[in-house]
Amino acid sequence: MKVLVAVKHAVDHNLKPFVDATTGQVDLSQARRVINPFDEISIEEAVRLKERGLVTEIVAVSIGGADAKDSLRHAYAMGADRALLVETDVRLQPLSVAKLLKVIVEREQPGLIFLGKQAVGEDYGQTGQMLAALLGVGLGTFASALQLKDGSVEVTREVDKGTQTISLQLPAVLTSDLRLNEPRFIKLPNLMMAKKKAIETLAAGELGIDLANRFTVIKSNEPPQKPGAVQLASVSELISTLRKAEVLQ
């Protein structure tokens, strides 16, 4: 069975973003980009399935600029078999990304399709759900464990007060949650090897999809900073202060 993994070249989650005062927009010009952490988890899961002989081929797909090849190389270094870049210089919104991924899914015919539960940055958390709906296939969001069966997959999902297990007919779309696995550490030789591998490139504009944005971010702002804690000498002082402030009875 073939597995397709969507990989976003996303803003590093350790980075504290800031707003450019003149444009009123988040300044990403210097922002380091890396593979979206949830997509790294997806690749890891696909590789583990392949190591257990349940999967024959792993195709990593990214939509973005030429720099997204870095994340595809990361996928190669972890064990992906093929990488595909749908190239565009425009920052696409999730609906367009889902439509482009649908084109690739129809071409590749994977049995299982992994996306991340959200991409760090805009934190939309939409693309996987949209892709499943457009394909008319089953959807398992927030996957924290899975088990392949004959023609189906059993997915354990993180829900409000615990977990839920559902079974989906294949093909199906899953969105990876943090606890699905712990991605492996990439060894340097693997990374060197990944640099030599070919990345097939398609132009996003030539796939017959309407890529127009549906909403506009007018401006962004950073939340007001708090002044910092009033330090209290002891727990008893804390309690008397909270009582005085009528936070505690």
Ligand X SMILES: Cc1cc2nc3c(=O)[nH]c(=O)nc-3n(C[C@H](O)[C@H](O)[C@H](O)COP(=O)(O)OP(=O)(O)OC[C@H]3O[C@@H](n4cnc5c(N)ncnc54)[C@H](O)[C@@H]3O)c2cc1C
| Contacting residues toward ligand X, per CB under 6 A | 13, 37
**Residue 99 CA to chain centroid, in angstroms?**
16
Q: Does 122 bind other proteins (CB under 8 A)?
A: yes
Q: What values do phi and psi take at 97, rounded to 5?
A: -60, -45
Q: Does 134 bind other proteins (CB under 8 A)?
A: yes
Closer residue to other proteins (CB): 79 or 138: 138
Whole-angstrom distance, CA of residue 197 vs CA of residue 79? 12
Burial class (CB in 10 A: 0-12, 13-18, 19+), 191: middle
Q: Does 20 bind other proteins (CB under 8 A)?
A: no
Least Å distance, CB 191 to ligand X, is 21
Cα distances (angstroms) measured from residue 107 to each of 38, 101, 112, 135, 209 = 24, 10, 14, 12, 15
For residue 164, the partner it binds in other proteins, ligand X, ligand AMP, none, with Cβ less than 5 to 8 A by kind, is: other proteins
Q: Does 190 bind other proteins (CB under 8 A)?
A: no
Closer residue to ligand AMP (CB): 38 or 76: 38
Closer residue to other proteins (CB): 17 or 205: 17
Whole-angstrom distance, CA of residue 104 vs CA of residue 2? 13
Least Å distance, CB 229 to ligand AMP, is 33
Whole-angstrom distance, CA of residue 28 vs CA of residue 36? 16
Using omega within 30 degrees of 0 as the cis cutoff, is the peptide bond preceding 171 cis? yes
Structure tokens at 82: 């093929």
Q: Does 41 bind ligand AMP (CB under 6 A)?
A: no
Q: Does 128 bind ligand AMP (CB under 6 A)?
A: yes
- Nearest in space to 7 (alpha carbons), one of 33, 32, 31, 40: 40
Strands 112-116 and 2-6: parallel
Q: Does 59 bind ligand AMP (CB under 6 A)?
A: no
For residue 36, the partner it binds in ligand AMP, ligand X, other proteins, none, with Cβ less than 5 to 8 A by kind, is: ligand AMP
CA dihedral 14, 122, 174, 100 (to 10 degrees): -120
Least Å distance, CB 74 to ligand AMP, is 13
Closer residue to ligand AMP (CB): 131 or 227: 131
Q: Does 44 bind other proteins (CB under 8 A)?
A: no
Q: In this chain, which of 79, 94, 171, 183 binds ligand AMP, going by CB under 6 A?
A: 94
Q: Does 125 bind ligand AMP (CB under 6 A)?
A: yes
For residue 198, the partner it binds in ligand X, other proteins, ligand AMP, none, with Cβ less than 5 to 8 A by kind, is: none
Cα distances (angstroms) measured from residue 145 to each of 110, 135, 149, 249 = 20, 23, 13, 44
